[in-house]
Amino acid sequence: MDIDALIQEQIAFYRQLAGVYNGQVYDREHWESLADTALKLCPHVETCLELASGTGLWTQRLLEYADAITAVDSSPEMHALSIDRIDDPRVNRVTADIFNLNLPDSYDLVFAAFWLSHVPMERFESFWFQIAKSLNPNGHVLIVDSHTAGPGGGGDTRQLTDGREFNIIKVNHDLTELNERLDALGWDVVVKPVTSNTYSVFGKIY
Ligand SMILES: C[S@@+](CC[C@H](N)C(=O)[O-])C[C@H]1O[C@@H](n2cnc3c(N)ncnc32)[C@H](O)[C@@H]1O
């Protein structure tokens, strides 16, 4: 399948999944402890761009670190759940495809949780270039995602409760390779495990 079609299928999958997403994916206690540890790295900033903000779980926590958040997600259904969760004028929600994003502003922090693994390797370089372009001088990036030991993969199939199947992108990054790739692109980052199956990437462009 071509990458553009796969990206569209992934968008469609998450639109359908929105209503059951948190219950299905997050064990609350596990998530709280992951967020506490990962966000320890977070500086206090004026402006934050959150990519793939979903139902706003992380957005809510990011408000402890940022005076204003622009939260981007392609799913209006996810944004609607985020609005139910957080009614706060400091959050500006944008419905857009990250792979076709053209925001006029730059930010002190770019944050993304459980998103990097959904970026196809064919778009890896342009995605990181886009982050660099979105950062103010001296701005930071913080990425949190899951990975497992074993081969890298690239695709996955997900099924909704009604049986419909969707192809999505799921890149299982090896942390050493990820660090090397980012270093080669000019990023000064620390890539490290947060829990047994999650990792964070924190740093800035050289
Ligand atoms: C795995 S979820 C992560 C959501 C949130 N960060 C969290 O951790 O709860 C992935 C999110 O990416 C969004 N998404 C998928 N493809 C996208 C795209 N091309 N552009 C923007 N958002 C996208 C989905 O709608 C979904 O909310």
Are the beta carbons of 158 and 146 closer than 8 angstroms?
no
**In this structure, which residue's CA is closest to atom 26 in ligand 1?**
54
pLDDT at 25: 58
Instruction: Kindly give the distance from the C-alpha atom of residue 15 to the centroid of ligand 1, in angstroms, as a whole number.
Output: 9
How remote is the CA of residue 18 from the centroid of ligand 1, in Å? 10
Residue ranges in the chain assigned as alpha helix (H): 3-17, 21-25, 28-39, 57-62, 76-85, 124-134, 175-184
Digitized pLDDT (tens) for each residue of the chain, 206 residues in all = 799 999 999 999 999 999 776 555 567 788 899 999 999 989 999 999 999 999 999 999 999 999 999 999 999 999 999 999 999 999 999 999 999 999 999 999 999 999 999 999 999 999 999 999 999 999 999 999 998 866 566 778 998 888 899 999 999 999 999 999 999 999 999 999 999 999 999 999 98
Pocket mutation for ligand 1, best pick of 8, 9, 11 (most atoms within 8 Å of C-beta) = 11
Ligand 1 binding pocket mutation candidate from 118, 123, 166 (most atoms within 8 A of CB): 118
Q: What is the pLDDT of residues 48-60, one digit of tens each?
A: 999 999 999 999 9
Alpha carbons 22 and 202: distance in angstroms, whole number: 25
| pTM for this entry | 0.96
Residue 87 CB partners (closer than 8 Å, separation 6+): none
Q: Residue 200: CB within 6 Å of ligand 1?
A: no
* Element holding 72 (H helix, E strand): strand 66-73
Q: Which residue has the tokens 């209503």?
A: 19
**Which residue, judged by its Cα, is nearest atom 5 of ligand 1?**
54
Q: Is 78 in the pocket of ligand 1 (CB under 6 A)?
A: yes
Residue 31: CB within 6 Å of ligand 1?
A: no
Taking CA atoms only, the protein residue closest to ligand 1 atom 4 is: 54
| Per-residue pLDDT, 194 | 95
Q: Which ligand 1 atom is at minimum distance from the Cα of 98?
A: 20
- Ligand 1 atom nearest the C-alpha of 73 is 22
